[in-house]
Amino acid sequence: MHACASKGVPPLATSSQVVRKEPQSEGVRGRKQRKVLVIGDSLVHGDKVKNISKGLNRHFDVSLPSSVLTFEDLVDWVREHVDAELDCIVMGRLFAPHLRDFDVEGAWEETRLELLGELLRLTESYKTPVVFVVVRGEKEFLRRILNEERVVTILECDAFNPSTLSSIVNDVINKRALFVSPKNSLEVDEGKIKEFMDVWSNTYDLHMGRTRHYAVMHSLLTHFASYVRDVIVDLGCGTCTPLSFILGDVIAPSLEANPEKKVKIVCVDMSREMLTKGKVRVLDTLSKYNLKGRVDLSFLCSNIFDFDLSLPSNSTALATYIIHWLKDKEGFVRKLAQLLSPGAYFISVEEWPLVVTPSSHMKEDFRDAINSQTTPIDILNQFYPLLRSYSFELLESKVEPIDDNHQMYGAVFVKR
């Protein structure tokens, strides 16, 4: 018997349920549509209501109950819809608005935990993944479900955009599991990340070029050219390809127009192999544009958190495609606030959702290893507010698509 029923909690609804099926689209690029069950579709946060299915029904064959069910009816409904063709279950804040009025402490949480157990049991033979959407602050609940290996993704209903959910669910189905949480609870091994980067340095540029990441980065950095100052620090510089775009498009013309002007650049990365390739690329770019002697260049092999600089107001900090590698997002922003003087700029170029796409220059096993060590963050709804909380003011932003599944977010902040 359901735990809440045993405590004398009245049923949430009495109904012989009919299944409401969302209108189907033609799918993505002609592929057979993936089957997704949505349980707890409406999410209430403050005075806002979001529907999980809104971000899914254009790309998936979505099924969801037509109204609130009793626990037993809902389990029966799930049992009827679970089969080998089911690709994913997306579960929202089920029952919370209803059980909150009952005088049973923790009843709705226990209900959701019991339902999760039933879902995992019913789908055990198929290993169907479960995506959970929670409310910020549910720390205890998060702790209790994180040990379930098939609960592969957790999203905050007040911090995610339903329009991005289809890409995230698609990643989950394709075993590219994402975890989005303000505390970034996954354990990240810095040594392993460094090892990945050392190995990946040989094909990194080829992969980023093949998957259009560099083309979109180049476009965004060109758009933000007016924010490049005379002192630049490239945080997590990698192979320095984005920096080379700035050198060719912005710094070279500026130095040519001002013969007495000089520029200082500091490149920081914890991977010595990446840094070595970055140094070669930057020196080649300086030679190409006859900039040698005009640029004071330094390379630091260091964790972003473990070096000290004092950057003047006429400086620009640059970070491209690094935030998902950092477990301590707030620590990074705090470090950035310490580095930059008031009036200095911060240019950020990051992708969301994070989709590590295999290519001829990155095999699936290596991609999976990378995914195991990244902690993505919603750029618009989580990362930018975090920057603002440390006195960074957004001056300009621009979003460009990388492909059908994700976008590149560019922004310029000024330190106040």
Q: What is the pLDDT of residues 258-298, one digit of tens each?
A: 999 999 999 999 898 999 999 999 999 999 999 989 999 99
Phi, psi of 269 (to 5 degrees): -160, 145
How many Å apart are CA 81 and CA 63, to the nearest integer? 9
Question: Tokens 């498009």 map to which residue?
Answer: 249
Q: Where are the domains of the chain?
A: 3-173, 190-415
Alpha helices in 59-106 (DSSP H): 71-81, 96-99
What would you measure as the largest C-alpha separation in the chain, in angstroms?
A: 83
What is residue 152's predicted lDDT score, i.e. its pLDDT?
52
pTM: 0.57
Query: Which residue has better confidence, 326 or 225?
Result: 225
Residue type, 49: V
Specify the 3-state DSSP secondary structure of 160: coil
Query: Which residue has better confidence, 105 or 124?
Result: 124
Smallest Cα–Cα separation from 169: which of 184, 185, 180? 180
DSSP symbols for 99-146: HTTSS-TTHHHHHHHHHHHHHHHHTTTTT--EEEEE-TT-HHHHHHHT
* Residue 219 pLDDT > 90: yes
Query: Which residue has better confidence, 387 or 44?
Result: 387
How far is residue 292 from each of residues 252, 255, 277, measured CA to CA in Å?
Answer: 11, 11, 18
- With 0-12 / 13-18 / 19 or more C-beta atoms within 10 angstroms meaning exposed / middle / buried, residue 332 is buried
Fold held by 190-415: Rossmann fold (3.40.50)
How confident is the model over 390-415, as pLDDT tens digits?
A: 999 999 999 999 988 889 999 999 99
Same fold, 3-173 and 190-415: yes
How many Å apart are CA 267 and CA 247, to the nearest integer? 13
What is residue 193's predicted lDDT score, i.e. its pLDDT?
74
Q: What's the mean pLDDT in 363-378?
A: 72
Inter-helix orientation angle 190-200/272-288, to 10°: 40
Backbone conformation region of residue 129, classed left if phi is above 0, alpha if psi is from -120 to 50, else beta: beta
How far is residue 297 from each of residues 290, 304, 318, 336, measured CA to CA in Å?
Answer: 14, 18, 15, 20
> Is the Cβ–Cβ distance between 64 and 38 less than 8 Å?
yes
CA 210 to the chain's CA centroid: 21
Instruction: Please state, rounded to an integer, the average pLDDT across all residues of the chain.
Output: 76
CA 26 to the chain's CA centroid: 27
Q: What's the mean pLDDT in 373-387?
A: 87
Inter-helix orientation angle 190-200/364-371, to 10°: 150
How many Å apart are CA 148 and CA 20, to the nearest integer? 29
3-173: what CATH class?
alpha beta
How sure is the predictor about 16, in pLDDT bands with cuts at 50, 70 and 90? very low
Q: Which span out of 81-95, 206-220, 347-361 was modeled with the highest average pLDDT?
A: 206-220
Phi, psi of 403 (to 5 degrees): -160, -160
Specify the 3-state DSSP secondary structure of 280: helix
What is residue 374's predicted lDDT score, i.e. its pLDDT?
79
